[in-house]
Structure 1
Amino acid sequence: MRSAILDPDRLVTAVASGRQRGTTPPWRRVEIRYVELKAGRHLQITTYDATQAFTANHPVGGPALIAALDELLDLPLARWVVTTSTERTTVEAKTPHTALVTTEAIESDGEGASGGASPAAASHDRAKERLLPESDPVFVALGISDRDGRLKPSRTAKYRQVEEFLRQLDAAISEALGSGRLRTPTTEEPLRIVDLGCGNGYLTFAAQRYLASVRELPVVVTGVDVKEQSASHNAAVAEQLGVDARFVVGTIDGVELDQAPDVVLALHACDTATDDALARAVAWEAPLVLAAPCCHHDIAAQLRRAPTPSPYAMLTRHGILRERLADTLTDGIRASLLRISGYKVDVVQFVESRHTPRNTLLRAVRTGGAVGAMKGGSVRKEYDELVSTWGVRPKLADLLGL
C-alpha cells in the first residue's frame, strides 16, 4: 500500500476506516489523494474525528509526506482501500496478526497515459469513494449486489440513491453532533433512528451498517412499513446479517414507538405519505429529519382546480410545467412549515437526476420551540401569503394544525 500511495502517477485515492478490535485510533476515517496546487503537486491527507475533518497537504517527495504517511499506516485502522489507475486493493484486519487482502482489476476507459488525462490526476469529476462498497454484505443480502459482491446492473440506480442518501445522513449527523443539536449516543442510550415507509429496508440496513460499523456509533434502527411482507423479509435479512434491527407493521401516521426517535428518515414516501412522515417527526420533536419526497399529486391536483393567480398563467397552462411547479411549491411549503415548527431547513439535491427524477432532499435540524408560528411572525406571514396566492391547502399544514 505504501508504494502505491507514494506513486503520484498511479494513485487515485486511498481510504482507511474503522478500528481494529480493542484499539482506539485517533481518526475514524482517513482519505488520501494527490492534488494540484499553485506550489505543485501535493499529497492531500484528510483525517476525520467524531465531528470534523482536518486536511493537510504535503509536497511530493518531501520528508514530511513520508513521515505523515508512515504514521497513518501504523495506526490500528480496520480497513484500507487503495485505488490506483489499474487496480483496487482492499486490506481488512481480521485479528492483530492476520488480514484479508483482495485485489480487483480496473478496466481502462480509454484515457490515461496513452489517451488523455491521467486517472490519478486531481479532478473534481472523479468518482467519489463509497461510504459502503458495492461488495458490502448489506448490499449482497438485499440483492443489490450478487454473491461475489458485484453490483447488479439493474440495481445501479437503487445503490446510488442509498449511497447518496447515506452521504447526506453522515454529514447531517456530524453537523448535528458538533453543534449539540443531537445528543452524543452511548451504549446505554444509543442513537434511535426510524425509517418511515422503509419498504425492503435498503436505507434502514445501510444506515445501521454504516453508522454502527464504519462510524462506530451506538445505534438502534427501526423500520416502519404498512406491508406485513416487508417486515417479514426485513426480519429475515436482519437475522442473516446478524444486526439488531426492528421492523414494525403500521402506517406512518399511526405507528407507535416505545421511545421517540432521534433521527427520522423517509426515502421516497409517496405523495402525502411524506407529509405524514414530517408530521410524525415534528410530533416526536425529532432532532434530525431527512426526507426525500416522491410524487406530489396533492398540490398538483389543487393547482388544476384553482384559478391561477396573475401573472402566472403560463406556469400552469402546460401540463409538464404545472407538474414541476407543483413539485417546487409542495417542497417549498413543507420547508416553510418545518421552519414554523422550530426547524432549520435546507433543501438540496441528493442524487443525480439520471438515477432518479425524485432527487430533492429536505434536511431539517430542530433548533428549539416554534419559530414565527404566530400570525404576525415573518415566517408564518410568508407562508400565509404563499398559500393564499395559489389557493392551496397543504396536507402537512392540516397535520400540524397550522
Structure 2
Amino acid sequence: MLIEHDTKIQLCEFSQRLGLMTPQKKHESDKARKVEQIIAFLEVIHSQVRKYSKKRELVFVDSGAGNCYLSFMVYYYYTYVVQRPVRIHCIDINEALMNKNRNLAERLGFERMHFHTADIEQYTHCGPIDVAYSLHACDVATDKAMFLGLKNNAKHILSVSCCQHSVKNKMQSYENTKGLTKHSVIKDRLLYVVLDSMRALLLEMQSYDVDVIEFVSSRATDKNLMVRAHKKQLVESEAIYSQYRRLRNAYNLRPYLEGRLVQLGLVASFDQVPEQLPVK
C-alpha cells in the first residue's frame, strides 16, 4: 500500500471540495465508490513515478478527462502531500466541462493544471510525457488516449476502458465459440476483455512492457481492468503478432488503435500481410 491510511483520509476530505463526497445520502455510496477508484488509480500512477528525481517536474496527460476528478486528486497529492512539482494537461471535447474545471482550478490555486477543449487526436503536446492516462474514456476515446501516449513516447500509459459501442455489433465468433456471444451480458464482458487484450498487444508491438491488472476491487466498479504499460526497448516478437492476429480473426475485431498505427506505418496492415512479421 503506497498511500497510507491517513493520507487517504486527507484525499477523501479534499474530494468533498470537488463535490465528490457530500453529506447527502442519496448518492453517497456511488460517490464513495468513485473516490475509491480514483485513489486506487492514483496509487498505480505513484507506483510508476515515485522513484523519479524530485528535482524535475512530472508531466501527466489526462485524456477524456470529463470532470477531471482524477487529475484534481493527482495534482493535490503531488503538490501538497508528496510536495513535488507536477503539470497536468486535461483533454476533453466538452467545452462546458473544461471551462468549469478551469474555473475550479483557478479557485483552488492549481496553476499547473491546463484544460484543452479538443478531440484527443487533435491535441498537440509539446515536450515529454511521464504518464498518459485515461479513466473510463468512452468507446474509441480509450484508443485515442493510448495513441496520444504512443506518438508522444510517454514513459507510461495507463488506461481503464469503458463502453465499446462502435465495435459491439461487429463482434463475431466461429461456430465452436458462439456460446460465448449468445447472451448479451456475457458478450459485453467478453468484448471488454478481448479488446483490452488486443490493445495490450498493440502496445507491446511499440516496445512497451505491458500487463493488465485489477486496479481496484470489483465492488467499486465492474470495469476495473487497467492496461498498464511502461516504455522499454524490447525485442520484437513474432509471437505477439501471431497472438494479435488470432484474436483479431477469432472475433472479427479491429480496435481503433490498430487503424491509427497502420495509417502511420508503425505496423503493417494485418489484412495485407497476414502471415509475416509487420515491419515498423
Structure 2 counterpart of 1:396, one-letter code: L
Listed as ranges, the matches of 1:63-212 within 5 Å are 81=6, 130=8, 132-136=10-14, 139-146=15-22, 152-174=28-50, 177=51, 184-186=53-55, 189-212=56-79
Structure 2 CA distance, aligned partners of 1:355 and 1:130?
A: 16
Say which of 328, 331, 342 aligns to 2:196.
331
Alignment of 1:374-393 (within 5 A): 377-393=238-254
> Contact 1:131 / 1:163 at 8 angstroms: preserved in 2?
no
TM-aligned CA distance change 1:334 to 1:154, over 3 Å: closer
Larger-gyration structure (1/2): 1
Deviations along 1:51-81, one digit per CA (max 9) or x if unpaired, are xxxxxxxxxxxxxxxxxxxxxxxxxxxxxx5
- Kindly report which structure 2 residues correspond to 1:234-383, keeping only aligned pairs within 5 A, or say none: 234-244=101-111, 245-303=113-171, 306=172, 308-368=173-233, 371-372=236-237, 377-383=238-244
Mark the CA change 1:131 to 1:296 in structure 2 (over 3 Å): closer, same or farther: farther
Distance 1:131 1:335, change over 3 A: farther
Displacement of 1:152: 4.6
How far apart are 1:354 and its partner, in Å? Answer: 2.6
Letter in 2 for 1:381: S
Cα deviation, 1:72-91, whole Å, max 9, x if unaligned, reads xxxxxxxxx5xxxxxxxxxx
Q: Tell me which protein shows more strand as a share of its residues.
A: 1
Asked whether the 8 Å contact 1:341–1:370 carries over to 2, the reply is: no
Question: 1:252, 1:277 within 8 Å by CA — same for their partners in 2?
Answer: yes
Looking at structure 1, the residues matched to 13 and 187 of structure 2 have their Cα atoms a distance apart, in angstroms, of 42
Alignment of 1:26-37 (within 5 A): none
The alpha-carbon distance between structure 1 residues 332 and 152, as it changes in their structure 2 partners (threshold 3 A), is same
The CA deviation at 1:333 is: 0.4
Q: Which residue of 2 aligns with 1:100?
A: none
Cα deviation 1:344-398 (Å, max 9, x = unaligned):
11111122223222111111100126733xxxx2211221222123322221110
* SS at 1:267 equivalent: strand
Query: Identity, % of aligned pairs?
Result: 28
Contact kept, 8 Å, 2:159 with 2:227, in 1: the verdict is yes
Q: How does 1:37-48 map to 2 (within 5 A)?
A: none
Q: Is the 8 A contact 1:299 1:330 kept in 2?
A: no
1:354 and 1:229 map into 2 onto residues whose CA distance is 31
* Distance in 1 of aligned mates of 2:235 and 2:107: 43
Q: 1:190 to 1:131 in 2, by over 3 A?
A: farther
TM-score (norm 1): 0.60
Q: 2:94 aligns with which of 227, 233, 243?
A: 227
* Alpha-carbon shift at residue 185 of structure 1 (Å): 4.9
CA RMSD of aligned residues (A): 2.4
Structure 2 unaligned runs (5+)?
Answer: 268-280
Q: Distance in 2 between matches of 1:131 and 1:300?
A: 40
- Which structure features the higher share of helix residues? 2
Query: Any conservation in 1 of the 2:120–2:145 contact (CA below 8 Å)?
Result: yes
Structure-1 separation of matches of 2:75 and 2:235: 31
Partner of 2:259: 398
Higher RCO (CA 8 Å, separation ≥ 6 residues): 2
Q: Is the 8 A contact 1:292 1:359 kept in 2?
A: yes
Alpha carbons of structure 1 residues 216 and 326: separation in structure 2 relative to 1, 3 Å:
same
Q: What secondary structure is seen at the aligned counterpart in 2 of 1:355?
A: coil
Counting matched residue pairs gives 259
Normalised to the residue count of structure 2, the TM-score between the two structures is 0.84
- Give the 3-state SS of the residue equivalent to 1:144 in structure 2: coil
- Is the Cα contact below 8 Å between 1:275 and 1:396 reproduced in 2? yes
For residues 390 and 228 of structure 1, the distance between their equivalents in structure 2, rounded to whole angstroms, comes to: 36
How far apart are 1:146 and its partner, in Å?
A: 4.3
